[in-house]
Structure 1
Amino acid sequence: MSVSTAATDGTTRVEIRPRYEGSNICTWIGFKHVNYMVEEAVYDHLRQLGFPAGQLYERYGLGVDITDIDTKILTAFHIDDVASAVVAPAPDKGDGMRLTVEMTVRRDGEIQRAVVSKVAVQFRFDPRGHEAEQPPAALEGAVVDRLGAGAEPIALRPGADPLEQLTEGRNAFGWAWRMPYFYCHFTERVQMSGYLRQMEEVVDLFLADRGVSIKTLLDEQDWIPVVPHSRITVLDEARMEETLYTVFTVENVFKRFTYTARMDTYVLRDGVLVPTTTGRITHGWAVIENRRDWSLVNFDDRLLNALNGKPGQTAARGTTA
């Protein structure tokens, strides 16, 4: 990131480059890393306001947690792009600090609007046996003892497999995986970037399970998936080394052009499935025209049938990320 600036109205601006890790096919940046750029803009915004994440934790015991991220991608980023991100306060809905993030990129001498994102931040107090100062007054309304908006738990039927219960009768795919420490922060909680990884991976596993893996369509048709919209909302906390049950449900296929799907994650505690996140993602497919350009295509019958699938399909188990 380059030098950032703040304005008197509470908005901040920072220039951000996408990380090289996110350039997976040709030089385009995937949706997960676009969301990572949004996250970095938010952390820089707090830093400019005098609330750097490290200081908030070390002095006040407050972990900075993004609990809602709703991102629309209007223009694809390439690996050498520089994004100009403007972060502004948004109306408070009573469940944390609300912000908007807008990114632009310069192309052929013109400024193009690239990303619009809505973000919620909560400051989660960590009581782990250490003294902490009183939280800054400006943050008090967003300080919480537990993350999330809450959701109704689901009782696991006696003898039932969690994934089978969660996917039965639905056009869904399920995946169970132990949460590693590197998906967590502030000692034990799965962080938003961890859930973004889950969303990326469950799509990959779902497509492979339906016989239309990303490599299959890439090798045979020069097609790649593209994501114009994604959202994840934290409902409760998932902890390090808990098994996360991730369910990916196709909701709508729109005119052979895009499909939308829901991701729901759960942890099993005392015989009850506790929802920890819910989210949605929109996918299309594009054909690679050259090393820099692609264009959207309509779904063929093979892809359309795979997306519509058969109700009740379930999941791979023990798959590693």
Structure 2
Amino acid sequence: MTVTAEAVKALVQTESTVRLRPRYEGSNINTWIGFKHVNYLVEEAVLEHFRAAGLGSRFLFEQHGLGLDLADLDTRILHAFHQDDEARAVVVPRTKDDDGHLSFAVTLFVERDGKELKAVTSKVKVALRVDSYLAAAEVPAELSRFATTGIGGFAEFGEHHGAEVTEAATTALSAGRGTTGDDPVLARLLAGRNAFGWKWRIPYPYCHFNERFAMSGYLRQVEEVVDLFLADRGVSIKTLLDDRKWIPVVPHSRVQFLGEALMEEDLYTVFTVEEVFKDLTYTARTDFYVVRDGRLVQTATGRITHGYAVFGDRTDWSLVGFDDRVVRAFSGHPAA
């Protein structure tokens, strides 16, 4: 099998459709599917689009040393997914002639009461990363404009990128795999901000193509840091679930690569609350750093919008406004 101009044309000009179901793992509260697994559906739709063009991720890597990475993922959820739902995923290429990356618009549709609803819209950028871990392979001319030796450049770096820092040995395996406590790098990143920070050692299961932290890893990291942030502010997910039957909902999430993070590096995740909107949702920025040669390197950034829903039965829920306790927690003030 070879890469042809027709295959690349199909990839960048022809839309594709596939039917998908969310994974059982993503059903955390009643039968609702969380934002991470909704993004996994988007990822799978994009991978299937490559397969349909005859350019599947396995073929690209094994034959041409190109690792397929989702490097910018911007997703809005309009209707909730449940267990056993079937999504009709439509992938529409949006790649421009002068772009060095592949762009797609992904829409997920779901059926409700006999009608098909637009449930999710997503904008995706894909990088074809030239593998440098194994011997070099020939990159086909038809794909050369999309091949890159390093992923990044999808957004502006934050203010701490490139700063000199001194790390502390706080994520040794003997001391656990992460810390939110006293750490000089976290102290620098959090200074003067309504933010929460977490230092964490990147493990093998979050990586792909031998050593590279994947988009799915960042999504898991966003989910984890939200959980830790809420617990740190005294409004843990379990606390509000028990007290009020409130559950977190995420109508919007985005992660953009700025560089690459590697297996067994310490990843510094900073979760900064930016705005509380009409006591119904709050937006937060997530920034990710590693330290190389004594300097901070920002590897990704993103945003997430969070709210709460209250459920009265096992099938339905409604958005609920924040009370004073929750607003004060988000603003960094302890409850009175």
Query: What TM-score do you get using the length of structure 1 for normalisation?
Result: 0.91
TM-fit CA distance, 1:154 = 3.1
- 1:213 matched to 2:236? The reply is yes
Distance (Å, rounded) in 2 between the aligned partners of 1:161 and 1:248: 17
Q: Given the superposition, is the C-alpha separation of residues 136 and 55 from structure 1 closer, same or farther in structure 2, using an over 3 Å criterion? A: farther
114, 122, 128: which one pairs with 2:133? 128
Alpha carbon RMSD of aligned pairs, Å?
A: 1.8
> 3-state DSSP class of the match of 1:84?
strand
Distance (Å, rounded) in 2 between the aligned partners of 1:206 and 1:107: 34
Distance (Å, rounded) in 2 between the aligned partners of 1:223 and 1:207: 13
Q: Given the superposition, is the C-alpha separation of residues 158 and 44 from structure 1 closer, same or farther in structure 2, using an over 3 Å criterion? A: closer
Aligned to 2:170: none
- 1:156 matched to 2:160? The reply is no
CA deviations over 1:15-58 (Å, ceiling 9, x no partner): 00000000000000000000000000000000101110001000
Q: Given the superposition, is the C-alpha separation of residues 7 and 200 from structure 1 closer, same or farther in structure 2, using an over 3 Å criterion? A: closer
- 1:235 matched to 2:258? The reply is yes
Distance (Å, rounded) in 1 between the aligned partners of 2:259 and 2:133: 19
Distance (Å, rounded) in 1 between the aligned partners of 2:11 and 2:298: 39
CA deviations over 1:230-283 (Å, ceiling 9, x no partner): 000000000000000000000000110100000000001111110000000000
Where do 4+ consecutive residues of structure 1 move more than 6 Å?
none
- 1:34 matched to 2:38? The reply is yes
| 1:113 partner letter | K
> 3-state DSSP class of the match of 1:155?
coil
> 3-state DSSP class of the match of 1:154?
coil
Aligned to 2:112: 107
- 1:117 matched to 2:122? The reply is yes
40, 61, 72: which one pairs with 1:68? 72
TM-fit CA distance, 1:95 = 4.0
Q: Given the superposition, is the C-alpha separation of residues 226 and 132 from structure 1 closer, same or farther in structure 2, using an over 3 Å criterion? A: same
Asked if structure 2 preserves the Cα contact closer than 8 Å seen for 1:250 and 1:259, the reply is: yes
Q: Given the superposition, is the C-alpha separation of residues 7 and 166 from structure 1 closer, same or farther in structure 2, using an over 3 Å criterion? A: closer
TM-fit CA distance, 1:94 = 2.2
Matches within 5 A, 1:145-294: 145-149=149-153, 151=157, 153-157=161-165, 161-294=184-317
CA deviations over 1:75-134 (Å, ceiling 9, x no partner): 000011000000011143724100000010011100011000000000000133425233
Q: Return 92-101 or 111-120, whichever deviates more.
A: 92-101
Query: What TM-score do you get using the length of structure 2 for normalisation?
Result: 0.87
> 3-state DSSP class of the match of 2:318?
strand
Distance (Å, rounded) in 2 between the aligned partners of 1:129 and 1:53: 17
Asked if structure 2 preserves the Cα contact closer than 8 Å seen for 1:122 and 1:144, the reply is: yes
> 3-state DSSP class of the match of 2:200?
strand
Distance (Å, rounded) in 1 between the aligned partners of 2:141 and 2:242: 54
- 1:80 matched to 2:88? The reply is no
Aligned to 1:315: none
> 3-state DSSP class of the match of 1:173?
strand
Asked if structure 1 preserves the Cα contact closer than 8 Å seen for 2:157 and 2:258, the reply is: yes
Aligned to 2:103: 98
Distance (Å, rounded) in 2 between the aligned partners of 1:157 and 1:101: 40
Distance (Å, rounded) in 2 between the aligned partners of 1:187 and 1:58: 13
Asked if structure 1 preserves the Cα contact closer than 8 Å seen for 2:12 and 2:93, the reply is: no
Which consecutive residues of structure 2, in runs of 5 or more, have no partner in the other structure?
Answer: 1-9, 168-182
Q: Given the superposition, is the C-alpha separation of residues 34 and 8 from structure 1 closer, same or farther in structure 2, using an over 3 Å criterion? A: closer
31, 42, 56: which one pairs with 1:52? 56
CA deviations over 1:183-238 (Å, ceiling 9, x no partner): 00000000000000000000000000000000000000000110000000000000
* Corresponding residue pairs, total: 305
Asked if structure 2 preserves the Cα contact closer than 8 Å seen for 1:171 and 1:310, the reply is: no
Q: Given the superposition, is the C-alpha separation of residues 21 and 78 from structure 1 closer, same or farther in structure 2, using an over 3 Å criterion? A: same
Distance (Å, rounded) in 2 between the aligned partners of 1:63 and 1:224: 37
Identity of aligned residues (%): 58
- 1:14 matched to 2:21? The reply is no
Asked if structure 2 preserves the Cα contact closer than 8 Å seen for 1:156 and 1:162, the reply is: no
> 3-state DSSP class of the match of 1:220?
helix
Asked if structure 1 preserves the Cα contact closer than 8 Å seen for 2:12 and 2:95, the reply is: no
| 1:258 partner letter | T
| 1:61 partner letter | G
> 3-state DSSP class of the match of 2:224?
helix
